[in-house]
Structure 1
């Protein structure tokens, strides 16, 4: 779904729900002690209002951070393996390569094909600009892109 369409849908369907929720919060303040568990929850919700409402203003904002958490999960799991890097330089190099791979995946690229392309370009053109090698660059060839199944 395009961000513009998502924004319109949120205005139509989500905004009334969020407005009703915050009206309910206002109504609850009358009979709620501030230090009670409900009072703390209401205060928290009120303090986070601008962050919650941000998704209504911009259709590009995702409703959860699940995608970001999924992309770092292998990093967290792999941490134990990195304990065995012999030097800080080796650990730094491993982290840099891992970062390149994850960024390629997040940009819809096949990491192996992408890295092969990047290394060949660096080897053949020592003066190539880094912006032409970034995963989102228009110069990245089609054979580096993963086929994404539409559901």
Structure 2
């Protein structure tokens, strides 16, 4: 168990270095291109070292142990993870996405009491649209009032393109 703790601490220290590099880029307010260059210079060697460490360490641990599962999971995602080195727009983690969907995930239990499956689905759609408004900086009340007023004119067969224009990000760009 202590051996696994030491292994986990090693991996966490390496990951913390990656976050320090991201914090450095944030503090310098680097544009995406320069952030990618900084990552190539500082983070790429850490990523390469961590990948080699996983390859050496995994055969030495039990696959069902916590550290074995963590290494197996991480290594399986490693090719996609390395993409963050190439593009300064990509984040090191998915925390923003996780935080954005957390309210809906927490509401799942409440959806059980919506009455029926269709009502639960409709509630999920409404929550998704309102969250989209929030992410786009759109006032949900103004958006709903405008969109509900336009719906009868947009719900004609074959009018899907016009319906897309009512989505919060299009609506915002249309100057509403």
Global fold match (TM > 0.5): yes
1:5-20 equivalences under 5 Å are 5-20=34-49
1:103 aligns with 2:136: no
Segments of 5+ residues of structure 2 without an aligned counterpart are 1-29
Inter-CA distance 42–115: structure 2 relative to 1 (3 Å threshold): closer
Superposed displacement of residue 97, structure 1? 0.6
Question: Per the alignment, do residues 134 and 15 of structure 1 end up closer, same or farther by CA in structure 2, a change over 3 Å counting?
Answer: same
SS of residue paired to 2:114: coil
Where has structure 1 moved over 6 Å in runs of 4 or more? Answer: none
TM value normalised by structure 1: 0.68
The verdict on how the C-alpha distance between 1:69 and 1:41 changes in structure 2, with shifts beyond 3 A counting, is: closer
More helix as a share of residues: 2
Indicate the SS of the match to 1:60: coil
What are the within-5 Å matches in structure 2 for residues 52-67 of structure 1? 52-67=81-96
For residues 93 and 43 of structure 1, do their structure 2 counterparts lie closer, same or farther at Cα, with a shift above 3 Å needed?
closer
Render the CA deviation track for 1:14-49: whole Å, top value 9, x for unaligned: 2232234345556xx3xx682425994796355443
Local SS of the residue matching 1:92: helix
| C-alpha deviation, 1:63, in angstroms | 1.2
Q: How far apart in 2 are the matches of 1:23 and 1:3? A: 27
Instruction: Kindly report the root-mean-square deviation, in angstroms, between the aligned alpha carbons of the 2 structures.
Output: 3.2
Q: Is 1:78–2:93 an aligned residue pair?
A: no
SS at match of 2:169: coil
Q: Which runs of no fewer than 5 residues in structure 1 stay unpaired?
A: 142-151
Whole-angstrom CA distance in 2 between matches of 1:132 and 1:120? 14
* Matched residue count: 137
2:24 aligns to what? none
Q: TM-score, normalised by structure 2?
A: 0.60
